[in-house]
Structure 1
């Protein structure tokens, strides 16, 4: 019967785990809907703003973008790693930390690299191997454009004062609840447009004021929007990954519970059979 007691305890424990994972799945599903709507609505705006800025820059002199377009010899790089503050979301956080490590080992072997960690989980892991110069774990407590813009301004200042020659963002792009794609985007300097017809800009738009003034005003806004989109993408990906992970955990717990129930019933049946045999054997002994 001691064995039966142990199985009962395991079944009770698994049922409690199922309740927790099921509740977390429902919470993440509710948060995912809001986060998904936000990033879906923002992507067209962000893409069009970036496209407009790149097209305008292509028609101007190479130094038209000012300090944010200055190409320098890359000797010091800052990687902005966007993860989450909490775990239980499958491989969401580990995919970013692995991506960052791979970038450093393959792309910046002989270059000084620092980490700007947005999210506690990524910062904790990367700090064991690399220099994490700053952590911003509070951004997810109140994820607004103004709060993200303050971080973007800090990054822009680090580039302008030549603290870093290149800044890249590493984050998870939301595709659907089950799929998150690790992405690497160049934040600064502004990446020039690849190919395209620069003359098309002159015929598609009427500029007021001048193109130079528009580019100068658009660049900070575009950079802030780029960072905000990346964090929003990561935020939606986190809830999608957590919902999927908790769904799988609930399914696994259900399967394990069913197996233990079957084992328990078999053991209980065997124990009852043994008791009956002992009673019958005792009765036969008394007859003899």
Structure 2
């Protein structure tokens, strides 16, 4: 049965309202994208600086000294001694690779939909990576940041050990500090032996790509990056205290930087999805308008034919 003129008019009006909503959401996502891109650029300055400091320490062999001291420690019998070297053990955990019994994955997704293929691409890549790498759920632990990922892993019975929902659209370091500290503490306590942060990397407004970066232990320091190899440091109060303060900050900066990158990709995906929805609404309105005009023209033609036929019958 053909649609009536009234039905077509209702569809046009409804589509126009939807287009207005998606257009507004596109502008909102664009504003958020612009803001978080500025934050990301500013934060990159801090990340580069702290990496430079840690790499300089590596070049001056302070990190190697700390590694050697940690590896030479014997298991203390006295609990007082254990407490005295506690920070050295933590320092060693951040630097030294240990036998991999369990791998941790910090998976960053969004808390909402309307972001195109942003979430599905991450989750599909995660399922594939886990199925290819691990034989049982005991070999991995998932830390989900974002409700979409948490619900996905729960529904499939995967080993979800931590979840966090409600990260703001432009997150601050203070806001996500608890997530970062939890991830580092779980690694430090041996919940997993290595940590990967998995997210969508922002390339540009139209493109993003899945990325899984190894964040812990810190093993990617390249001393060749340092221009001056003959560096000497005087540390106060000690080498271990200096590294114990800097290395956790470095690990935290890597994770927070990944979260900023992920949120940037999310806003870009949302903006692209809303633009596509707005364009589709405009195309549908054009098609419905043509359909309405044709139906109206057919109705007028029918009315004229009926009038002419009635007049002819009266003659």
Under a length normalisation based on structure 2, what TM-score does the superposition of the two structures give?
0.82
CA contact (8 A) 1:66 1:216 kept: no
In 2, Cα distance between equivalents of 1:149 and 1:97: 24
Q: Tell me how far 1:30 sits from its aligned partner.
A: 1.4
Gaps of 5+ in 2: 71-90
The 5 A counterparts of 1:2-13 are: 3-13=4-14
Q: Tell me how far 1:149 sits from its aligned partner.
A: 2.4
Which of 102, 107, 111 is equivalent to 1:76? 102
Q: Does residue 40 of structure 2 align to residue 39 of structure 1?
A: yes
Residue aligning to 1:107:
133
DSSP 3-state at the match of 1:90: coil
Residue aligning to 1:271:
299
TM-superposition CA deviations, 1:114-171 (whole Å, max 9, x none): 2111111111112222122221113327822123222222112111211111111011
Residue aligning to 1:124:
151
Total equivalences in the alignment: 286
Residues 92, 165 of structure 1: alpha-carbon distance in 2 compared, 3 angstrom cutoff: same
Alpha carbon RMSD of aligned pairs, Å? 2.4
Residues 128, 47 of structure 1: alpha-carbon distance in 2 compared, 3 angstrom cutoff: farther
Q: Does residue 277 of structure 2 align to residue 254 of structure 1?
A: no
Which of 118, 132, 139 is equivalent to 2:167? 139
In 1, Cα distance between equivalents of 2:131 and 2:56: 33
* Higher mean displacement: 273-282 or 48-57: 48-57
CA contact (8 A) 1:174 1:180 kept: yes
* Higher mean displacement: 88-97 or 69-78: 69-78
In 2, Cα distance between equivalents of 1:92 and 1:45: 28
The 5 A counterparts of 1:198-277 are: 202-203=229-230, 206-209=233-236, 212-277=240-305
DSSP 3-state at the match of 2:167: helix
TM-superposition CA deviations, 1:218-269 (whole Å, max 9, x none): 1110111111111111122211111111111101110110011001101110
CA contact (8 A) 2:36 2:170 kept: no
In 1, Cα distance between equivalents of 2:231 and 2:115: 45
Residue aligning to 2:21:
20
CA contact (8 A) 1:8 1:264 kept: yes
In 2, Cα distance between equivalents of 1:6 and 1:145: 52
In 2, Cα distance between equivalents of 1:200 and 1:108: 41
Q: Tell me how far 1:44 sits from its aligned partner.
A: 3.4
CA contact (8 A) 1:72 1:165 kept: yes
Q: Tell me how far 1:206 sits from its aligned partner.
A: 4.6
Q: Tell me how far 1:200 sits from its aligned partner.
A: 5.3
TM-superposition CA deviations, 1:33-92 (whole Å, max 9, x none): 111100112123313423542453363424575121232221212211111111101111
In 2, Cα distance between equivalents of 1:211 and 1:188: 21
Residues 200, 40 of structure 1: alpha-carbon distance in 2 compared, 3 angstrom cutoff: closer
DSSP 3-state at the match of 1:81: strand
Q: Tell me how far 1:215 sits from its aligned partner.
A: 2.8
In 2, Cα distance between equivalents of 1:6 and 1:175: 44
Gaps of 5+ in 1: none
In 2, Cα distance between equivalents of 1:108 and 1:55: 36
Q: Tell me how far 1:27 sits from its aligned partner.
A: 1.1
Residues 153, 259 of structure 1: alpha-carbon distance in 2 compared, 3 angstrom cutoff: same
* Higher mean displacement: 183-192 or 200-209: 200-209
CA contact (8 A) 1:76 1:164 kept: yes
